[in-house]
Amino acid sequence: MGAEVRQAKRIGLLYDGRASTFCPGCEHGLLLKLIARALEELGVADRAVMVGTVGCSSLGYLLFDSDFVQAPHGRAPAVMAGIKLVEPDAVVFAIQGDGDALSIGLQELLYAADRGIPMTIFMYNNMTFGMTGGQMAPTTIPGMRTTTTPRGRDVKLSGSPIDACRLLSAIDGPAYLRRAILAPRPLRVKGKIFYSAREALEAYRIVLNAFRAQLKGGFSFVEFVGTCNVNWRMGIDESKAFVHEVGAKYFPPGLCRDIYGLEGGGKV
């Protein structure tokens, strides 16, 4: 994310010039940048509180200049609830990994959502445990090899991918539920690879909506499907293509809940 940090000079919430903790080709840095910009655009940067999760996003706080508290693995939604219930003016958000949110922290996520406590959670779904070296996650797709499914995920033994948006759709609490693909689609033009800008622009509008939902008093959850080229053992372009070609089948982008009509009837 080095280049992105350098560009970020204008964005008040992002520290300039710090070495990124993310691997090259990963969308974690992009997500941080979109969040920073959205908080500024909404004029709430000064009230923003980032709750640290445990996973690759956890070191993002080093790049992000808001108040911050680190939660134990999976517990961010509960820590966020604790803050929000005594500081209702704070704008509280977290970037959870799929393991943090759906494995160890499923209960905390589910109950924060069920209570509809105003907060905003972005789940970075990279279909693996990135930080610990690429083990199976609840979102690992069938047949996918990880360090703990060396022969590919066997659904008979290890279950099928958990669809967070559908799961959360089953309860009434959430105000805004959304899934989108964060990885830019690689486009081949005259033998050269270009990245589509569409995903980032759409993601930005979704991030804005997620915060708007919190500001209106609702619980918002966005699942961003991203890459982890390092642990997938793929090239960067290949990993981005994989998300669009294979990942999207299991995690189709779309709106699951929007009680405030932020997306104007389903379209972003």
Ligand X SMILES: Cc1ncc(C[n+]2csc(CCOP(=O)(O)OP(=O)(O)O)c2C)c(N)n1
DSSP designation for 212: H
Q: Which of 24, 25, 76, 37 is nearest to 55 (CA)?
A: 76
Residues 114-153, mask of contacts with ligand X (x by CB under 6 A): ----------x-x-xxxxx----x----------------
Q: Which residues of 91-125 are buried (b: 16+ CB within 10 A; e: fewer)?
A: bbbbbbbbbbbbbbbbebbbebbeebbbbbbbbbb
Q: Which of the choices other proteins, ligand X, ligand SF4, none does residue 230 contact, using the CB cut-off of 5 to 8 A by kind?
A: ligand SF4
Q: Which is nearer to ligand SF4, 60 or 118 (CB)?
A: 60
100 binds ligand X (CB under 6 A): yes
- Give φ, ψ of 176 to 5 degrees: -140, 120
Span from 78-86, 158-166, 181-189, 200-208 in contact with other proteins (CB under 8 A): 78-86
Which residues have a Cβ under 8 Å from the Cβ of 7 and sit 6 or more positions away? none
- β-pairing verdict for 119-125 and 91-97: parallel
Q: Does 196 bind ligand X (CB under 6 A)?
A: no
Least Å distance, CB 24 to ligand SF4, is 8
Q: Which does 129 bind (CB under 5 to 8 A by kind): other proteins, ligand X, ligand SF4, none?
A: ligand X
SS3 state at 144: coil
Q: Is 57 among the residues that bind ligand X (CB under 6 A)? A: yes
| Tokens 């779309």 belong to residue | 254
The Cα diameter of the chain in Å comes to 56
Place of tokens 């961010």: 76
Q: How far apart are the C-alpha atoms of 134 and 68, rounded to whole Å?
A: 27
Q: Is 27 in the site for ligand X (CB under 6 A)?
A: no
58 near ligand SF4, judged by CB under 6 A? no
**By CB under 8 A, what part of segment 84-103 binds other proteins?**
84-87, 89-91
By CB under 8 A, is residue 80 in contact with other proteins?
yes
Angle at 161 between CA 133 and CA 111, to 5 degrees: 95
CA pair distance 27, 113, nearest whole angstrom: 25
| 229 is a site residue for ligand SF4 (CB under 6 A) | yes
- In whole angstroms, how close is the CB of 120 to other proteins at the nearest point? 14
Q: State CA 232 to chain mean position distance.
A: 18
Binding span for other proteins by CB under 8 A among 61-69, 174-182, 190-198, 250-258? 61-69
CB atoms within 10 A of CB 65: 17
Q: Of ligand SF4, other proteins, ligand X, none, which one sits near residue 179, judging by CB under 5 to 8 A according to partner kind?
A: none
Q: Shortest Cβ distance from residue 229 to ligand X (Å)?
A: 12
Binding site for other proteins (CB under 8 A): 45-49, 51-52, 58, 61, 65-72, 75, 78-87, 89-91, 107-108, 110-111, 115
Binding site for ligand X (CB under 6 A): 54-57, 73, 97-100, 124, 126, 128-132, 137
Binding site for ligand SF4 (CB under 6 A): 22-23, 26, 28, 56, 126, 130, 228-231
